[in-house]
Amino acid sequence: MNFKEEIISLLEKETKLKREELANFISIPPDPKLGDYAFPCFKLGKNPKEEAEKLKEAIKEKLPSFILKIEAAGPYLNFFIKNKVIAEVTLTEVYKQAKRYGSSNFGKGQVIVMDYSHPNIAKPFGIGHLRSTVIGNSLYKTFQFLGYKPISVNHLGDWGTQFGKLIVAYTRWGDKKELEKDPIKYLLKLYVKFHAEVEKDETLNEEARAAFKSLEDGNRENLALWEEFKELSLKEFERIYQILDVTFDSYKGEAFVNKLVPEAITEIEKKVETKISEGALIVDLEKENLPPILLRKSDGASTYHSRDVAAALYRLKKYKADKMLYLVGSEQKLYFQQLFKLLELADYNRDKFVHADFGLFRFPEGKMSTRKGNVIFLEDVLNQAIILAEKIIEEKNPTLKNKKDVAKIVGVGAVIFADLSNDRIRNIDFDWDKMLSFEGETAPYIQYTHARACSILRKSELDVRDKINFERFGIEEEMRVVKLLYNFPEALEKVVKTYKPHHLAQYLISLAQAFNEFYHKCPVISEDKNIMKARLLLVDSVKRVLENGLGLLGIKAPEEM
């Protein structure tokens, strides 16, 4: 049963407001003493306080049976749900739906093409790529859970002028054995060397441009080199994806769409005025207050923008996308404004395109630069997190079975959660101690709470099929947990509407905190079998929702830790 929907129906008849409007107005009051739902009466008349009173009088005889009472408080009309009803509805539903609790048809029929992760070949998998990967992965899972049809595209950075530089560097100074030993580190070294040598000899730039052009023209030898760099890089990326447990529906990146660029440009030129400027093909966006878009370089080479135009047209057609979501850092904001503007000018529906941008993940060591070679290797970060988690587990629970597996789950979970618990727009400062702490807003805290719930359930022998007396619920700490469980689906809807997984992460923190307060206050193992059964069912429900919720963030929940 959806209480909010029922209240909307009640108010729809009385206020003549539209359902969507009502849905937006009705909120959950921050203080439970103000009820479970609040309706602000500002839209009903000049004096909302009076309107709240009037509305209360008008509906007080027509209340559905799940409502305990309504109260007018200032401009608000507050609704209180009966404890027994909300407990019964919620806990029965969680138990019945188990792993599917929270799932719905909310996004039925909607195809969402998601562009995320997209590391660059021959370069280290960066922290920005980690952010994109974990945010994308979590949104993908949540979309699926809510009935959407998401498609994940790993738009690999496997084409562009940098390959010209690499080919020049490798041909001049490269060593096959070194390359195979540690491909990305070695390619990075060559890339850095190239930029150092350019300082002395500018003609190298020309040479690199020519090398890239030869790639575009299909030069076999250079293509074979490129192929090798790509294969070796992907192998390394695959290791990271395995640690994170992430997969993709498509790996069609810049090299693939590069072949579609001429066709895409022809398509765009039918609708949008282009011009030649110093031999290059551009679209002037001055009228739109944006810098021009470069679609083709003077030597005929494609550009990052033109490859994105081709990718967009390809995906719209192939997947019949309703939405195209790009999970890319805020530093490319202007870039996507230009891209979307161009597509809009070419008569594509602007509303379909979303740049869900994010801030930086900052390390105490400072900002990274691939050109100078000072980078933090993500794989090292993940491995370090696993080692630290192992140490903590060794201290806290030395007899634990599968210590290594649990350490991996906890360490990796901590890194993912440090990212997802923040609004993606914000910058995050990386902090090992904070991230791995068993207290505070961390994955280990939630995982530990989940393991605690599992342990309570193991110790008791609950037969949850037994009849539960839902009248037994009523203590504040119990009801807070029940209501949070009831609101899980709403937290998920918020995630998909805003493309922000932190709404779910923060929800899980609240649930874990509420559960720990409940556990502190209310003994679960009790003489009174009725109370015990009811509370065990509550523990069981919390365990399930924590597990489901973490799963949607891409984090596992061990039974013991």
Task: Considering only residues 452 through 471, tell me which ones interact with ligand ARG, judged by CB under 6 A.
Answer: none
Stretch near ligand ARG under the rule CB under 6 A, chosen from 65-73, 112-120, 360-368, 378-386: 112-120
Query: Taking the C-alpha atoms of 244, 432, 560 and 402 in order, what is their torsion angle to the nearest 10 degrees?
Result: 60
CB distance 378 to 124 below 8 Å: yes
Q: Which C-beta is closer to ligand ARG: that of 219 or that of 332?
A: 332
Whole-Å CA distances, 65 to 8, 78, 89, 556: 15, 16, 13, 40
- State both tokens at 250: 């498509």
Element (H, E) at 71: strand 67-73
Element (H, E) at 545: helix 529-553
In whole angstroms, how close is the CB of 145 to ligand ARG at the nearest point? 25
Q: Which C-beta is closer to ligand ARG: that of 275 or that of 333?
A: 333
Stretch near ligand ARG under the rule CB under 6 A, chosen from 115-123, 177-185, 198-206, 537-545: 115-123
Element (H, E) at 69: strand 67-73
Residue 326 touches ligand ARG, criterion: CB under 6 A:
yes
Residue 424 touches ligand ARG, criterion: CB under 6 A:
no
In whole angstroms, how close is the CB of 414 to ligand ARG at the nearest point? 25
Q: Which C-beta is closer to ligand ARG: that of 36 or that of 115?
A: 115
CB contact set of 115 (below 8 Å; sequence gap of 6+): 153, 155, 311, 324, 325, 326, 327, 328
Q: Which C-beta is closer to ligand ARG: that of 283 or that of 311?
A: 311
CB distance 324 to 352 below 8 Å: yes
Residue 120 touches ligand ARG, criterion: CB under 6 A:
yes
Residue 535 touches ligand ARG, criterion: CB under 6 A:
no
Among 88, 115, 216, 540, interactor with ligand ARG by CB under 6 A: 115
Chain residue whose CB lies nearest ligand ARG:
157
Task: Considering only residues 128 through 147, tell me which ones interact with ligand ARG, judged by CB under 6 A.
Answer: none
In whole angstroms, how close is the CB of 343 to ligand ARG at the nearest point? 12
Task: Considering only residues 169 through 188, tell me which ones interact with ligand ARG, judged by CB under 6 A.
Answer: none
CA 485 to mean position of chain CA atoms: 21
In whole angstroms, how close is the CB of 328 to ligand ARG at the nearest point? 5
Stretch near ligand ARG under the rule CB under 6 A, chosen from 73-81, 114-122, 168-176, 314-322: 114-122
The span from the CA of 107 to the CA of 88, in Å, is: 27
Among 328, 453, 511, 552, interactor with ligand ARG by CB under 6 A: 328
The span from the CA of 282 to the CA of 290, in Å, is: 13
CB distance 303 to 297 below 8 Å: yes
Q: Which C-beta is closer to ligand ARG: that of 355 or that of 480?
A: 355
CB distance 469 to 534 below 8 Å: yes
In whole angstroms, how close is the CB of 230 to ligand ARG at the nearest point? 13
Residue 155 touches ligand ARG, criterion: CB under 6 A:
yes
Residue 157 touches ligand ARG, criterion: CB under 6 A:
yes
Q: How many of the chain's residues bind ligand ARG (CB under 6 A)?
A: 9
In whole angstroms, how close is the CB of 308 to ligand ARG at the nearest point? 5
The span from the CA of 339 to the CA of 59, in Å, is: 52
Q: With left for phi above 0 and alpha for psi between -120 and 50, is residue 252 left, alpha or beta?
A: beta
As to burial, measured by CB atoms within 10 angstroms (0-12 exposed, 13-18 middle, 19+ buried), residue 92 is middle
Residue 118 touches ligand ARG, criterion: CB under 6 A:
yes
Q: Which C-beta is closer to ligand ARG: that of 473 or that of 499?
A: 499
In whole angstroms, how close is the CB of 326 to ligand ARG at the nearest point? 6
Stretch near ligand ARG under the rule CB under 6 A, chosen from 113-121, 375-383, 449-457, 464-472: 113-121
CA contacts within 13 A on the Cβ side of 417? 33
In whole angstroms, how close is the CB of 233 to ligand ARG at the nearest point? 12
Q: Which C-beta is closer to ligand ARG: that of 120 or that of 506?
A: 120
How open is the CA angle 16-22-23, to the nearest 5 degrees? 150
The span from the CA of 485 to the CA of 468, in Å, is: 17
Q: Which C-beta is closer to ligand ARG: that of 208 or that of 327?
A: 327
Q: In what order do the strands lie in the sheet with 76-81?
A: 37-40, 76-81, 67-73
In whole angstroms, how close is the CB of 302 to ligand ARG at the nearest point? 13
DSSP string for 131-182: HHHHHHHHHHHHHHHTT-EEEEE---B--SHHHHHHHHHHHHH--HHHHHHS
In whole angstroms, how close is the CB of 222 to ligand ARG at the nearest point? 21
Residue 308 touches ligand ARG, criterion: CB under 6 A:
yes
Q: Which C-beta is closer to ligand ARG: that of 36 or that of 254?
A: 254
Q: Which C-beta is closer to ligand ARG: that of 120 or that of 442?
A: 120
Q: Which C-beta is closer to ligand ARG: that of 159 or that of 486?
A: 159
Per CB under 6 A, residues contacting ligand ARG are 115, 118, 120, 155, 157, 308, 311, 326, 328
